Amino acid sequence: MALPSASLLAQSILSGLFIGALYGLLGLGLSLSWGLLRQINLAHFALAFLGAYLCYQLSSVGGMDPLATMLVIVPGFFGIGVALQWVFSRFRISPFNSLLVTFGLTVIIESVIQSLWTADFRRLNSSYGDITFRIGALYVPLPELLTLVLSLVMSLAIWATLRHTDLGRAMRAAAQDGGIATAFGVNQKGLALLLSGVCAALAGVAGVCIALSYTLAPAQIYAWIGVVFAAVMLGGLGRALGPLIAGIVIGVSESITMAITAPSWAPLVSFSLLIVVLLVRPGKV
């Protein structure tokens, strides 16, 4: 096995960093809803792709700047998230049942996407896609860089909110013991609605990032589930920075694997890491 050149290795690590950031961004909303709302929300992936298609539509047909589509998508998805939480709360859906319900919702959203945009591939052609920066021997594509920046900003903002604000403390308290939190005056229902809205809005942001970098097809909703779940579990449920860090670890590990050995080994990385962490630090996952 020949060793890769330094530039190949560095470019591969950069590539892993970028895809890891997307794992992290997709995982952030999932982790918050799983950890703080006790909902395993599979529909998060479908919402992200719905966001990607909306970005495509608003940008390709409506002529909007792809990043500006977030001004429409984020509030809209916040509303969807609130409505979803209201339904979950109204029908007292348990964590396990939430998995089934959101899987059903995923299938419905996939069908809606297919009926609106057909099953054929769609690609957003934006001016961002043609911009690549060069740093020495390294190439840094703008869409991936934007994903990394957005992922960092969102993760840090939510981490800071959860850790340093009364709102965040109330959310963590409600997740830890809803009854006691309510006794201390925390509006558990309101917080749950807010958090669910934020999670769905995060899916919308991830969707815009997907639309900027990837060709879209409805069935691709499912292609991300395994690795993002691994990132969420490795990063810890309900933790804001966890999915990003775990996502980057997975992404970079996959990329180094692809640069050094056969690329077909790469998919083993995420789950091997998960198994190793489960064996070594079972309480941390």
Partner 1 sequence: MNRIVRQFAAGVAVLASVFAFCTAAAWGAAGDPPIRIGSTLALTGPLAATALVHQLTGEIYVEQLNRRGGLLGRPVEWIVKDDQSKPELARTLYEQLITVDKVELLLGPYATGAILSAMGVAQRYNKMLVHHTFGIPNLAKYDAQFPTWSLGPDPATTFPNTLFDALASTSKPPKSIAIVTSKFPSVHFMSLGAREVAKKRGLSEVIFLEWEFGNRDFGPIAARIKDANPDVLWVGAIGLEGNQLLDAMKKIDYAPKFHFYMYPAPGPMVQATEAKNALAATIFEQDPPFTSNPGAAEFVKIFNERAAKAGLPYTGVETQAAASYSAWQVLEAAVTATKSLDDKVLADWLRKNRVDTVQGKLRFDGPNNYGDDLMRVKQVQNGRWVTVWPKAYAAPGAALVLP
Is 259 an interacting residue with respect to partner 1 (CB under 8 A)? yes
Distance in Å, CB of 116 to partner 1, minimum: 9
Among 15, 59, 85, 102, binds partner 1 (CB under 8 A): 15
Q: The tokens 């895809």 sit on which residue?
A: 19
**In sequence order, what are the beta bridge partners of 132?**
141
* DSSP, residue by residue, 49-89: HHHHHHHHHHHHTT---TTTTHHHHHHHHHHHHHHHHHHHH
Binding string, residues 180-219; x marks residues near partner 1 by CB under 8 A: ----------------------------------xx-xxx
Distance in Å, CB of 185 to partner 1, minimum: 45
Is 139 an interacting residue with respect to partner 1 (CB under 8 A)? yes
Is 133 an interacting residue with respect to partner 1 (CB under 8 A)? no
Binding string, residues 94-113; x marks residues near partner 1 by CB under 8 A: ----------------xx--
Find the radius of gyration of the CA atoms of the chain: 19
For residue 144, give the amino acid letter.
Answer: E
In angstroms, rounded to a whole number, what is the distance separating the alpha carbons of residues 181 and 23?
A: 32
Binding string, residues 18-37; x marks residues near partner 1 by CB under 8 A: xx------------------
**In sequence order, what are the beta bridge partners of 139?**
134
Instruction: Give rounded-to-5 percent helix, strand, coil for the chain.
Output: 80, 5, 20
Element (H, E) at 214: none
Distance in Å, CB of 134 to partner 1, minimum: 8
Q: What is the total count of residues that contact partner 1 (CB under 8 A)? A: 47
Judged by DSSP in three states, 141 sits in strand
Distance in Å, CB of 241 to partner 1, minimum: 22
Is 263 an interacting residue with respect to partner 1 (CB under 8 A)? yes
Region near partner 1 per CB under 8 A, out of 34-42, 190-198, 240-248, 261-269 = 261-269
Q: Residue 95 is encoded by which pair of tokens?
A: 């964590």
Among 144, 154, 208, 239, binds partner 1 (CB under 8 A): 144
Q: Residue 137 is encoded by which pair of tokens?
A: 């021997």
- Looking from the CA of 269 toward its CB, the CA atoms found within 13 Å total 24
Element (H, E) at 134: strand 132-135
Give the residues lining the site for partner 1 (CB under 8 A): 4-5, 7-8, 11-12, 14-16, 18-19, 110-111, 114, 117-123, 132, 134, 139, 141, 144, 214-215, 217-220, 222-224, 227, 251, 254-256, 258-259, 262-264, 266-267
